[in-house]
Amino acid sequence: MCKTPAQASDFVRAFLPLVAGHTRDEIVLCPAFVDLAAVADALHGSNVKLGAQNMYWEKEGAYTGEICPSMLLAVDCSHVIIGHSERRQFFGDTDEAVNKKLKAAIAAGLTAIVCVGEFLEHREAGQTDAVLERQCSAAFSGISSPDAARFTIAYEPVWAIGTGKTATPEIASDAHRVIRKQAEKVFGLAAASNLRILYGGSVKPEKSAALLAQPEIDGALVGGASLDATSFASIVKYGL
């Protein structure tokens, strides 16, 4: 919940030159709803895509305060974040709601970034694997193997969101293996092997290279560090 439309446009103007010609990675910006149209205009013709931070699963109706898939498509969104830890923690998004949103995103042709992750009490109790298996199983319910290519998973340990704490590369890799194994159970080995799994949780420029060098980690879902163009660009261009 940062940046006005004018501030978001200024960010894009500062960010695009820093990543111009960058083809190794897919880059997606997911600003607040009120900023989507302004950011879409600023991104036009660039190598950066646009996503939203959330959506509702119905096509339209009396759901005041919500945004439907067709509205996102109308402002040139290609991606949408679903089940972000803050949506689960503060706004009551359930595993069932995440599944409904994922199905709606796939049906609309949006690429969903589906977030899963454990709270600190789960990790301390040794329940991380069980939580990830439950969240993934619920999210994947009723999704076909071919449709597994149409979404991305983001592992977000809730204890690392906004706290400055970052999972070690080893902790993150272990969690990603659990997620991929659950995907294999549902979609098969080929689809699970091709599934992109991102790490999210206090991703900072100084820590990103070690995380993103892990074979199990396919990218990053960046929060606070993405609010500054130079900081975010340095994460995008890690290792170069």
Alpha carbons 5 and 37: distance in angstroms, whole number: 8
Alpha carbons 96 and 119: distance in angstroms, whole number: 18
What amino acid positions are annotated as catalytic residues? 84, 156
Q: Count other Cβ atoms within 10 Å, centred on residue 222.
A: 22
Alpha helices by DSSP H, listed for 66-127, are 69-74, 85-91, 95-108, 120-124
Q: Which of 25, 47, 43 is nearest to 35 (CA)?
A: 43
Alpha carbons 218 and 172: distance in angstroms, whole number: 11
Alpha carbons 170 and 172: distance in angstroms, whole number: 5
SS3 57: coil
